[in-house]
Protein backbone atom coordinates (compact mmCIF):
# COMPACT_ATOMS: atom_id res chain seq x y z
CA UNK A 1 0.00 0.00 0.00
CA UNK A 2 1.48 3.37 -1.08
CA UNK A 3 1.46 6.13 1.58
CA UNK A 4 0.63 9.71 0.72
CA UNK A 5 3.59 12.02 0.29
CA UNK A 6 3.93 15.10 2.41
CA UNK A 7 2.79 17.24 -0.48
CA UNK A 8 -0.31 15.09 -1.08
CA UNK A 9 -1.26 15.21 2.58
CA UNK A 10 -0.98 18.99 2.60
CA UNK A 11 -3.10 19.24 -0.54
CA UNK A 12 -5.78 16.98 1.04
CA UNK A 13 -5.81 19.04 4.24
CA UNK A 14 -6.16 22.26 2.26
CA UNK A 15 -8.99 20.72 0.20
CA UNK A 16 -10.85 19.65 3.33
CA UNK A 17 -10.46 23.09 4.86
CA UNK A 18 -11.74 24.80 1.74
CA UNK A 19 -14.73 22.42 1.31
CA UNK A 20 -15.68 21.64 4.89
CA UNK A 21 -19.26 22.93 4.41
CA UNK A 22 -19.77 20.67 1.39
CA UNK A 23 -18.40 17.68 3.28
CA UNK A 24 -20.65 18.44 6.23
CA UNK A 25 -23.68 18.54 3.94
CA UNK A 26 -22.73 15.19 2.38
CA UNK A 27 -22.27 13.59 5.81
CA UNK A 28 -25.63 14.98 6.95
CA UNK A 29 -27.40 13.53 3.90
CA UNK A 30 -25.80 10.13 4.43
CA UNK A 31 -26.90 10.17 8.07
CA UNK A 32 -30.46 11.18 7.04
CA UNK A 33 -30.72 8.35 4.48
CA UNK A 34 -29.49 5.84 7.06
CA UNK A 35 -32.26 6.95 9.44
CA UNK A 36 -34.89 6.57 6.70
CA UNK A 37 -33.72 3.05 5.86
CA UNK A 38 -33.75 2.01 9.52
CA UNK A 39 -37.22 3.49 10.06
CA UNK A 40 -38.64 1.68 7.00
CA UNK A 41 -37.10 -1.63 8.11
CA UNK A 42 -38.55 -1.36 11.62
CA UNK A 43 -42.01 -0.44 10.24
CA UNK A 44 -42.07 -3.48 7.94
CA UNK A 45 -41.12 -5.82 10.77
CA UNK A 46 -43.84 -4.38 13.00
CA UNK A 47 -46.54 -4.91 10.36
CA UNK A 48 -45.49 -8.50 9.80
CA UNK A 49 -45.77 -9.15 13.54
CA UNK A 50 -49.21 -7.56 13.93
CA UNK A 51 -50.94 -9.11 10.86
CA UNK A 52 -52.17 -12.61 11.80
CA UNK A 53 -51.71 -15.53 9.46
CA UNK A 54 -54.94 -16.51 7.70
CA UNK A 55 -56.71 -19.47 9.29
CA UNK A 56 -57.38 -22.37 6.88
CA UNK A 57 -61.02 -22.85 6.01
CA UNK A 58 -62.78 -25.12 8.43
CA UNK A 59 -60.32 -24.60 11.34
CA UNK A 60 -61.30 -22.91 14.58
CA UNK A 61 -64.80 -22.08 13.31
CA UNK A 62 -67.16 -21.66 16.26
CA UNK A 63 -69.99 -24.15 16.41
CA UNK A 64 -73.54 -23.75 17.68
CA UNK A 65 -75.79 -26.46 19.06
CA UNK A 66 -78.98 -26.84 17.08
CA UNK A 67 -82.25 -28.12 18.50
CA UNK A 68 -81.27 -31.73 17.79
CA UNK A 69 -78.12 -31.48 19.88
CA UNK A 70 -75.70 -31.75 16.95
CA UNK A 71 -73.10 -29.10 16.21
CA UNK A 72 -73.41 -26.81 13.23
CA UNK A 73 -71.35 -23.87 12.05
CA UNK A 74 -72.94 -20.40 11.75
CA UNK A 75 -73.04 -20.75 7.96
CA UNK A 76 -74.76 -24.14 8.31
CA UNK A 77 -77.25 -22.62 10.73
CA UNK A 78 -78.06 -19.84 8.25
CA UNK A 79 -78.49 -22.37 5.43
CA UNK A 80 -80.70 -24.52 7.64
CA UNK A 81 -82.76 -21.47 8.60
CA UNK A 82 -83.13 -20.49 4.94
CA UNK A 83 -84.32 -23.98 4.08
CA UNK A 84 -86.85 -23.93 6.92
CA UNK A 85 -88.31 -20.55 5.97
CA UNK A 86 -87.65 -20.73 2.25
CA UNK A 87 -90.94 -21.59 0.56
CA UNK A 88 -93.46 -19.02 1.73
CA UNK A 89 -91.24 -16.19 3.01
CA UNK A 90 -88.97 -16.15 -0.02
CA UNK A 91 -91.76 -16.64 -2.56
CA UNK A 92 -94.05 -14.07 -0.96
CA UNK A 93 -91.40 -11.42 -1.65
CA UNK A 94 -91.61 -12.27 -5.36
CA UNK A 95 -95.42 -12.33 -5.53
CA UNK A 96 -97.74 -9.38 -6.03
CA UNK A 97 -101.22 -9.71 -4.54
CA UNK A 98 -104.06 -8.90 -6.97
CA UNK A 99 -107.29 -7.61 -5.35
CA UNK A 100 -110.57 -9.08 -6.57
CA UNK A 101 -114.11 -7.78 -6.70
CA UNK A 102 -117.18 -9.36 -8.33
CA UNK A 103 -117.64 -6.06 -10.14
CA UNK A 104 -114.69 -7.17 -12.25
CA UNK A 105 -116.88 -10.02 -13.54
CA UNK A 106 -119.58 -7.74 -14.92
CA UNK A 107 -120.74 -8.93 -18.32
CA UNK A 108 -119.24 -12.38 -17.77
CA UNK A 109 -121.32 -15.46 -17.06
CA UNK A 110 -119.72 -17.22 -14.11
CA UNK A 111 -120.39 -19.90 -11.55
CA UNK A 112 -119.53 -19.17 -7.93
CA UNK A 113 -118.69 -21.83 -5.36
CA UNK A 114 -117.75 -21.63 -1.68
CA UNK A 115 -114.76 -23.85 -0.85
CA UNK A 116 -114.06 -25.66 2.43
CA UNK A 117 -111.11 -23.43 3.39
CA UNK A 118 -113.20 -20.27 3.18
CA UNK A 119 -112.08 -19.26 -0.30
CA UNK A 120 -114.43 -18.81 -3.27
CA UNK A 121 -113.97 -20.17 -6.78
CA UNK A 122 -115.27 -18.46 -9.90
CA UNK A 123 -115.43 -20.43 -13.14
CA UNK A 124 -116.29 -18.83 -16.47
CA UNK A 125 -116.10 -19.72 -20.19
CA UNK A 126 -112.72 -19.96 -21.94
CA UNK A 127 -111.62 -20.62 -25.52
CA UNK A 128 -112.13 -24.31 -24.81
CA UNK A 129 -115.82 -24.99 -24.08
CA UNK A 130 -114.92 -28.06 -22.03
CA UNK A 131 -112.32 -26.30 -19.88
CA UNK A 132 -113.61 -23.17 -18.12
CA UNK A 133 -111.16 -20.63 -16.73
CA UNK A 134 -111.03 -20.41 -12.94
CA UNK A 135 -110.21 -17.82 -10.30
CA UNK A 136 -109.99 -18.65 -6.59
CA UNK A 137 -110.34 -15.72 -4.21
CA UNK A 138 -109.46 -15.61 -0.51
CA UNK A 139 -109.80 -12.49 1.65
CA UNK A 140 -110.60 -10.49 -1.52
CA UNK A 141 -107.27 -11.53 -3.09
CA UNK A 142 -106.78 -13.72 -6.15
CA UNK A 143 -104.76 -16.68 -4.88
CA UNK A 144 -105.18 -18.92 -7.94
CA UNK A 145 -105.99 -18.31 -11.60
CA UNK A 146 -106.20 -20.99 -14.29
CA UNK A 147 -106.62 -19.92 -17.93
CA UNK A 148 -106.68 -21.77 -21.22
CA UNK A 149 -103.72 -20.44 -23.16
CA UNK A 150 -102.69 -20.96 -26.78
CA UNK A 151 -100.37 -18.00 -27.39
CA UNK A 152 -97.06 -19.57 -26.34
CA UNK A 153 -94.89 -22.45 -27.46
CA UNK A 154 -92.80 -24.63 -25.18
CA UNK A 155 -89.60 -23.21 -26.68
CA UNK A 156 -90.86 -19.68 -26.07
CA UNK A 157 -91.74 -20.57 -22.49
CA UNK A 158 -88.31 -21.96 -21.69
CA UNK A 159 -86.65 -19.05 -23.46
CA UNK A 160 -88.65 -16.52 -21.42
CA UNK A 161 -88.52 -18.14 -17.98
CA UNK A 162 -85.62 -20.56 -18.16
CA UNK A 163 -85.41 -23.97 -16.55
CA UNK A 164 -88.44 -24.70 -14.33
CA UNK A 165 -88.15 -25.52 -10.63
CA UNK A 166 -90.26 -28.64 -11.03
CA UNK A 167 -92.25 -30.50 -13.66
CA UNK A 168 -95.16 -32.95 -13.47
CA UNK A 169 -96.19 -35.39 -16.20
CA UNK A 170 -99.76 -35.91 -17.32
CA UNK A 171 -103.13 -34.28 -16.77
CA UNK A 172 -106.54 -35.89 -16.27
CA UNK A 173 -108.02 -33.31 -18.66
CA UNK A 174 -105.22 -32.56 -21.14
CA UNK A 175 -103.93 -36.12 -21.33
CA UNK A 176 -100.79 -38.15 -20.71
CA UNK A 177 -98.73 -36.27 -23.31
CA UNK A 178 -98.76 -33.02 -21.36
CA UNK A 179 -96.16 -31.72 -18.94
CA UNK A 180 -96.73 -28.94 -16.40
CA UNK A 181 -93.76 -26.64 -15.76
CA UNK A 182 -93.62 -24.93 -12.35
CA UNK A 183 -91.85 -21.70 -11.44
CA UNK A 184 -92.58 -21.54 -7.73
CA UNK A 185 -90.72 -18.31 -6.99
CA UNK A 186 -92.72 -16.53 -9.68
CA UNK A 187 -96.04 -18.17 -8.76
CA UNK A 188 -96.39 -19.45 -12.31
CA UNK A 189 -97.04 -22.78 -14.00
CA UNK A 190 -97.65 -23.73 -17.62
CA UNK A 191 -99.07 -26.93 -19.07
CA UNK A 192 -97.77 -27.85 -22.52
CA UNK A 193 -98.24 -30.71 -24.95
CA UNK A 194 -94.88 -32.48 -25.10
CA UNK A 195 -95.49 -33.62 -28.71
CA UNK A 196 -96.86 -30.46 -30.32
CA UNK A 197 -94.81 -28.10 -28.07
CA UNK A 198 -97.90 -25.91 -27.61
CA UNK A 199 -98.70 -24.39 -24.21
CA UNK A 200 -102.35 -25.14 -23.43
CA UNK A 201 -102.84 -23.61 -19.99
CA UNK A 202 -101.40 -20.93 -17.71
CA UNK A 203 -101.65 -21.02 -13.92
CA UNK A 204 -100.94 -18.05 -11.63
CA UNK A 205 -100.92 -18.76 -7.91
CA UNK A 206 -100.02 -17.35 -4.53
CA UNK A 207 -96.73 -19.15 -3.90
CA UNK A 208 -96.53 -22.06 -1.50
CA UNK A 209 -93.92 -24.76 -1.12
CA UNK A 210 -93.87 -27.56 -3.70
CA UNK A 211 -95.02 -29.98 -1.00
CA UNK A 212 -98.07 -27.83 -0.24
CA UNK A 213 -98.98 -27.07 -3.83
CA UNK A 214 -101.15 -30.09 -4.60
CA UNK A 215 -102.92 -29.74 -1.27
CA UNK A 216 -103.60 -26.03 -1.75
CA UNK A 217 -104.86 -25.81 -5.32
CA UNK A 218 -107.28 -27.79 -7.51
CA UNK A 219 -104.92 -29.11 -10.15
CA UNK A 220 -105.58 -32.24 -12.17
CA UNK A 221 -101.98 -33.22 -12.82
CA UNK A 222 -101.54 -36.98 -12.56
CA UNK A 223 -97.77 -37.23 -12.01
CA UNK A 224 -95.69 -36.24 -9.03
CA UNK A 225 -93.63 -33.09 -8.86
CA UNK A 226 -90.03 -33.80 -9.83
CA UNK A 227 -86.88 -31.90 -10.66
CA UNK A 228 -86.37 -31.52 -14.42
Whole-number average pLDDT of the chain: 75
DSSP three-state, residue 138: strand
Is 21 a member of any domain?
Answer: no
Please give the pLDDT value at position 189: 94
Is 188 a member of any domain?
Answer: yes
Is 147 a member of any domain?
Answer: yes
Cα–Cα dist 221/122, whole Å: 20
Please give the pLDDT value at position 95: 67
> Considering its fold, how many domains does the chain have in total?
1
Cα–Cα dist 75/152, whole Å: 42
Is 174 a member of any domain?
Answer: yes
Is 135 a member of any domain?
Answer: yes
H-state helical runs in the chain: 6-18, 20-50, 74-85, 91-94, 154-161, 210-216
Q: 122: domain range? A: 98-216
Per-residue model confidence as pLDDT tens digits over 140-174:
999 999 999 888 899 999 999 999 999 999 999 99
User: Which one is predicted more confidently, 57 or 177?
Assistant: 177
Is 201 a member of any domain?
Answer: yes
Per-residue model confidence as pLDDT tens digits over 14-67:
766 676 666 666 776 777 676 667 666 655 444 444 333 333 333 333 333 333
Q: Mean of the pLDDT values across residues 99-120?
A: 92
Res 127 pLDDT > 60:
yes
Nearest to 79 by CA among 66, 88, 92, 61: 66
Is 31 a member of any domain?
Answer: no
Give, in order, the Cα–Cα distances in Å from 120 to each of 100, 130, 147, 151, 224: 11, 21, 17, 28, 26
Is 113 a member of any domain?
Answer: yes
Which residues contact residue 27 at a Cβ distance below 8 angstroms, ignoring those fewer than 6 apart?
none
DSSP three-state, residue 194: coil
Q: What are phi and psi of 82, to 5 degrees?
A: -60, -40
Res 214 pLDDT > 70:
yes
User: Is the entire prediction scored with pTM above 0.75?
Assistant: no
Per-residue model confidence as pLDDT tens digits over 182-207:
999 889 999 999 999 999 999 999 98
Amino acid sequence: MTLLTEEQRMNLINFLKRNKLLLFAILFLLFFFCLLIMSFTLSSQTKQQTIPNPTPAGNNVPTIQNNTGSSITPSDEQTQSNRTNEPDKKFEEEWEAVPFSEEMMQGVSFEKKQLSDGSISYTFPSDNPNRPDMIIVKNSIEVFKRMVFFDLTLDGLLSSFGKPDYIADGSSFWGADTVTYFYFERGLAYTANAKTKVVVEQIIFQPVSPNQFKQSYPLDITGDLKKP
